[in-house]
Amino acid sequence: MTELANRRVVTGIGPDGRSRVVIDGPIPQHNAMSAALAWRSAIPADNTGAEDAAVPYAIEVLHSGHANFAVCEFPPRTDALMHATDTIDYLVVLSGEVTLVLEEGEVALGPGDFVVDRGVVHGWRNPHDTPCRCAVVNIPALPVGAGRTI
């Protein structure tokens, strides 16, 4: 398991019942995918315990009924893979640039840009020479289309 450079700080309740930091360190990257979960929780979340809720990132986690908080990197010179998910996704560009490709139109994005993707068919293209790193939250949602999810 390698680690990503982004630091994550997770709070919890200590044995004395007081709030404290339970995890402070890099986001673990469990596999070679260009995404890694910083945290995941059922809905509603169970905030008890101090166990690390991050698991290896895989497309299946988007269909688990959990909310997922991840860091995603779009490698340089990659084309858009068009897809849709049964989630609402909140994405913030942390560094680099990426193009959000839709069935009708494209949007160039850079550091500080926020995206709310409401389960529509979309893809991410990085035509640049540097990677683009984003923070992403996926929350289960009712589907908006038929037969187009990944």
The 10s digit of each residue's pLDDT in 100-142 is 999 999 999 999 999 999 999 999 999 999 999 999 999 999 8
Residues 7-24: tens digit of each pLDDT: 889 898 888 988 988 889
d(CA 102, CA 124): 9
Model confidence, pTM: 0.81
State the distance between the two ends of the chain, measured CA to CA, in whole angstroms.
Answer: 25
Supply the pLDDT for residue 50: 83
Q: Which residues contact 7 (CB under 8 A, 6 or more apart)?
A: 24, 25, 26, 27
**What's the rounded mean pLDDT across residues 62-72?**
86
d(CA 93, CA 91): 7
Asked if residues 82 and 123 have their Cβ atoms less than 8 Å apart, the reply is yes
Asked if residues 54 and 38 have their Cβ atoms less than 8 Å apart, the reply is yes
What single letter denotes the amino acid at residue 76?
P
Burial of 93 (0-12, 13-18, 19+ CB in 10 A): buried
Supply the pLDDT for residue 107: 95
Residue 147 has pLDDT above 70, yes or no: no
Domains of the chain: 34-140 (2.60.120.10)
